[in-house]
Amino acid sequence: MNRRKFLATTAVATASAAAASAFPKPAISQGRVQWRMVTAWPKGLPGLGTGAENLAKRITEMTEGKISVKVFAGGELVPPNQCFDAVQSGTAEMGHDIAGFNMGKHRAFAYFFGVPFGMTYAEHISWLHYGGGQALWNELSAQFGVRSYAVGNIGSNIFGWFRKPITSLSDMQGLKMRMPGLGGDVIRKLGAQALSLPGGEIYTALQTGTIDAAEFTGPANDLALGFYQAAPFVMYPGIHEPGPVQEVVVNKAKYDALEPTLQKIVDVACQAAHEDMMAEYKWINSQASKTMVEKHGVKFLRLPDEVIAGLGKASGEVLTAERDKLDALGKKIWDSYVAARSQLKSHTEVSEMAFYQARAMDYPFPS
User: 121 to 160, contacts with a copy of itself by CB under 8 A?
Assistant: 121-123, 125-131, 155-158
Beta bridge partners of 249: 95, 148
How many chain residues touch a copy of itself (CB under 8 A)? 94
Q: Is 344 in the site for a copy of itself (CB under 8 A)?
A: yes
Nearer to a copy of itself, 80 or 131 (CB): 131
Beta bridge partners of 234: 161, 300
Nearer to a copy of itself, 84 or 228 (CB): 228
Residues 49-68 that bind a copy of itself (CB under 8 A): 58, 61-62, 64
Nearer to a copy of itself, 76 or 124 (CB): 124
Nearer to a copy of itself, 150 or 249 (CB): 150
* Secondary structure (3-state) at 327: coil
CB 307 within 8 A of CB 173: no
Q: Least distance (Å) from a copy of itself to the CB of residue 49?
A: 15
Residues 253-272 that bind a copy of itself (CB under 8 A): 260-261, 264-265, 268-269, 271-272
Nearer to a copy of itself, 184 or 218 (CB): 218
Whole-angstrom distance, CA of residue 277 vs CA of residue 255: 23
In the chain, the amino acid numbered 82 is: Q
Which backbone phi and psi does 260 adopt, to 5 degrees?
Answer: -55, -35
**Which range of residues in 26-34, 178-186, 245-253, 279-287 is near a copy of itself by CB under 8 A?**
279-287
Binding mask 158-187 toward a copy of itself (x if CB under 8 A, else -) reads x-----------------------------
**Residue 36 gets which letter from DSSP?**
E
Q: Least distance (Å) from a copy of itself to the CB of residue 208?
A: 28
* Secondary structure (3-state) at 313: helix
CB 99 within 8 A of CB 148: yes
- What does the angle CA 28 – CA 151 – CA 56 come to, to the nearest 5 degrees? 30
CB 193 within 8 A of CB 174: yes
Residues 191-250 that bind a copy of itself (CB under 8 A): 218-219, 234, 236-239, 242
Q: Least distance (Å) from a copy of itself to the CB of residue 218?
A: 8
Residue 267 CB neighbour total at 10 angstroms: 14
Residues 299-338 that bind a copy of itself (CB under 8 A): 300, 302-303, 305, 308-309, 311-313, 315-317, 319-320, 323, 338
**Residue 37 gets which letter from DSSP?**
E
Beta bridge partners of 146: 251
Nearer to a copy of itself, 88 or 157 (CB): 157
Q: How far apart are the first and last CA of the chain?
A: 29
Residues 100-119 that bind a copy of itself (CB under 8 A): 117
Longest dimension (CA), the chain: 66
